[in-house]
Amino acid sequence: MITSLIALTVSAFSLPLLENSTYSQTETKCTLTVKERHLQENTVLTMSTDKRNNFDVKIYHLNDLQAPSRGELIQNSIDNINQHPTFNYVVDHNLFKRLDNQTAIYTATIANDDFSPQRFTQAFKAHSYRTTLHLEGLKPFTFIASQRQADAFFRCAEQQGSTLAKR
């Protein structure tokens, strides 16, 4: 009885069930996807970059914030230490996909002013791949990426930038 309980416990912790982020790479793009800490499947943060080092940051969620519209996003470190600055961003709210008459997926995209998405991504890295986001009109979200997945994303982003610099 105890042996089977130990085996069950060991196998449960060895499975990547607790993995809350994924990293993917194509020839032209690196993407890190992080599930929200509490809402898991209902709210997802994606950060991506391409060969030209164009960063893109989106939050996919189920809340209609009068899409299409503009709003504000505030990024904090999870521990709210004073040494970590708070950043404010302009976001565009849009309908991403209607699943049925009752359910739709919306996006909040950080407005691409050639600086904000990259600043967001670098702050996420500086906060040890963890952040709290306050999207105007919603309760705060907490995103914590797996270090292994986030490290792979940032290595890919650096390689994308160095490939561009060589050209």
- Render pLDDT for 111-152 as a digit per residue (tens, 0 to 9): 878 789 999 999 999 888 999 999 888 889 999 999 999 999
Question: Which pTM was predicted?
Answer: 0.80
For residue 68, whether the previous peptide bond is cis, meaning omega lies within 30 degrees of 0, is yes
Higher pLDDT, 8 or 73: 73
The CATH number of whichever domain residue 154 belongs to comes to 2.60.40
72 in a structural domain: yes
For range 13-22, the mean pLDDT: 60
How buried is 66 (Cβ within 10 angstroms: 0-12 exposed, 13-18 middle, 19+ buried)? exposed
Domain count of the fold of the chain: 1
pLDDT higher than threshold 50 for residue 14 = no
- Residue corresponding to tokens 């919306």: 106
Torsion sign over Cα 154, 160, 161, 162 = positive
**Dist CA 63 CA 140 (whole Å):** 13
Find the domain containing 122 and state its range. Answer: 19-166
**pLDDT recorded at residue 53:** 82
Amino acid at the residue 126: A
pLDDT of amino acid 1: 44
